[in-house]
Amino acid sequence: MKKLLGIVVLGLLWCNVGFAMSQQEAIDKHLSGRKLDTLEGVWSLVETGQIILYFKTGNIYQFYDLTYPRYDPGRFEKGSDNYYYGRGAVFSGYDFKNPKFGNQTISINGNSGFLTLIISNQQPIKWTQQRIWPTNFKAHNAKFGASDSEKIEMASMIDKAKDTCKILGFTEGTDKFADCSLKLYTQSIELAAQNNQQVVIQNQGSTSSSGSNVMTIYDPVRDNNALIKRGQGLINGTCTLANLSTC
């Protein structure tokens, strides 16, 4: 009987070892060569010492436990860029076959966050998370450019600002109209910076969306100031889309 038990335990250990992936192997398999959502990447759970890799499959986020090599049964959905929710599992010791399930959330602020798991009739369990990879999340995603949904045209932003000011009763061509338009346009730039959107500056008669005609807001101070200055020139008529380089 003891021999049989030893074989069973050894078999379970072999399955875990055979299933194991290194951190780089897990990254290559699930995260390689693409932009990542905020949750995706490799994180350390400070309280437990576990190393977790989160990855997206369809509209669901799963995770692979690099410390106890296995795919965790927990699942997340995206509420916003910095908030994820779903159903999670907690295990007693090394008993990975009999988890207790509950509601779980993850809140993220830059390279840190909190994973909270709530199981019925128990106190909430809260773990602190620290991002290990990529260490510079914005720089990683910048390498892959912006998707169409992340792009916004400068001219469109200015037109929307002007239209709003007209609706508010300001007369086009007046100083108050220009001030109103610039204020709304500036707010649009700030919002684009928060969302890491790419502002496309498309010259008249050109369909190009690369090179000098594109500005990606990853340095809010530098890029905001440049875009606000150009927008001001377009609003007050001192420059046009055709000569933006001189604005």
pLDDT (average), residues 9-32: 68
pLDDT at residue 52 above 80?
yes
User: Residue 60 forms beta bridges with which residues?
Assistant: 57
239 confidence band (pLDDT: 50, 70, 90): low
In degrees to the nearest 10, what's the CA dihedral of 23, 146, 208, 204? -160
Which amino acid is present at 243?
Answer: N
pLDDT of 243 reads 58
- Dist. CA 59–CA 86, nearest whole Å: 12
pLDDT (average), residues 109-127: 87
pLDDT of 149 reads 59
**Pairing verdict, β 95-109 and 112-118:** antiparallel
Q: Bigger pLDDT: 28 or 6? A: 28
For the ranges 3-7, 39-43, 127-131, the lowest mean pLDDT is seen at 3-7
pLDDT of 148 reads 58
pLDDT at residue 153 above 70?
yes
pLDDT at residue 1 above 90?
no
| Longest Cα–Cα distance in the chain | 93
Q: Are 209 and 200 in contact (CB under 8 A)?
A: yes
User: Residue 104 forms beta bridges with which residues?
Assistant: 86, 117
For 119, residues 6+ apart whose C-beta sits below 8 A from its C-beta are: 90, 100, 101, 102, 125
pLDDT of 245 reads 55
pLDDT at residue 194 above 80?
no
Average pLDDT score over the chain: 77
pLDDT of 45 reads 94
Q: Bigger pLDDT: 113 or 236? A: 113
Q: Where are the domains of the chain?
A: 20-142, 148-246
pLDDT (average), residues 75-91: 88
C-alpha distances out from residue 121 to 43, 47, 97, 183, 196, Å: 28, 22, 21, 52, 41
20-142 adopts what CATH topology? Lipocalin (2.40.128)
pTM metric for this prediction? 0.57
What's the CA angle centered on 103, arms 102 and 109, to 5 degrees?
A: 135
211 confidence band (pLDDT: 50, 70, 90): very low
User: Residue 95 forms beta bridges with which residues?
Assistant: 92
- Dist. CA 15–CA 54, nearest whole Å: 22
pLDDT at residue 68 above 90?
no
Percent of the chain predicted with pLDDT > 70: 67
pLDDT at residue 6 above 60?
no
